[in-house]
Amino acid sequence: MKKIFFVVNNNKEFDFKELIRKYLSKVSVDVGKSLPKNSEKYDLIILWSYQKIIKKLPKDENVILFHSTNLPNGKGWAPIYHTLIRKKKYFTISGIIANEKVDARNIIVKARFKIQDNHTAEYLRKWDHEISIMLIREILKKMKGHIKGKKQIAKGDKYPRRYQKDNQIDIKLPFKQTINHIRACEDDHPAFFYINKTKYIIKVEPEKKPNFPKNLEIKFYD
């Protein structure tokens, strides 16, 4: 049986039991807030939405992470927000080998689907998690020893960090210029505006809920 380890920011936030049962039922799964001391016993170690830079990673180990852009473009922060606000045609998830530099090492796999008008950040986040766990299963199937992947040749661009204050809407702008900003803000950090000193928050939900993307494109890199 394959063994994997998820390195997470907070054990309580890692609530993906249903997805693990769906995609990784034949895999032994452990979870912790730091790299395991006995890392050699795991076939794969996943840095899951991990917000810290680990300065000393195990050598010759299969430590990977997923980033929600078409790397090498879109390194850095808030990839889902920037994907929507920049009107990207596709939502892309890149699986890469982890190292000390941010989103910079070899690409293992990419998955993408077309963004529709009724896709909001909440749905992209949900599908991002599911597709990433599904890709872990596919990586394990293809693994023969250590993962190599393909080197990121282009430098690419980098997305800036965002803060809660950045979600404020300029009410002087036409609504058409703010809709993508509203779609791109998630429920736990919603878009907002002020009238006088009263703060209003905006959360949007499409009338017709979108289904899980059917035409998912997956490409592995050797």
pTM: 0.92
Q: Where, residue-wise, is CATH 3.40.50.170 in the chain?
A: 2-158+216-220
Q: How many residues does the chain have?
A: 222
Please count the CA atoms within 13 angstroms of the CA of 221 that sit on its side-chain side.
Answer: 17
Is-contact 134 16, C-beta < 8 A? Answer: no
DSSP 46: E
Enclosing H/E stretch for 91: strand 90-97
The CATH class that applies to domain 2-158+216-220 reads alpha beta
Give the phi and the psi of residue 201 in degrees, each rounded to 5.
Answer: -110, 150
Write down the pLDDT at residue 169.
Answer: 96
Residue 202's identity, in one-letter code, is I
Sign of CA dihedral 172, 175, 178, 183: positive
Listed in sequence order, the DSSP H helices in 69-190 are 79-85, 121-142, 179-184
Burial class (CB in 10 A: 0-12, 13-18, 19+), 209: exposed
pLDDT tens across the length of the chain (222 residues): 899 999 988 766 677 889 999 999 999 999 998 888 888 899 999 999 877 767 777 665 689 999 999 999 999 899 999 999 999 999 999 999 987 676 668 999 999 999 999 999 999 999 999 999 999 999 999 887 778 888 888 788 899 999 999 999 999 999 989 999 999 999 989 999 999 999 999 999 999 999 999 899 999 997
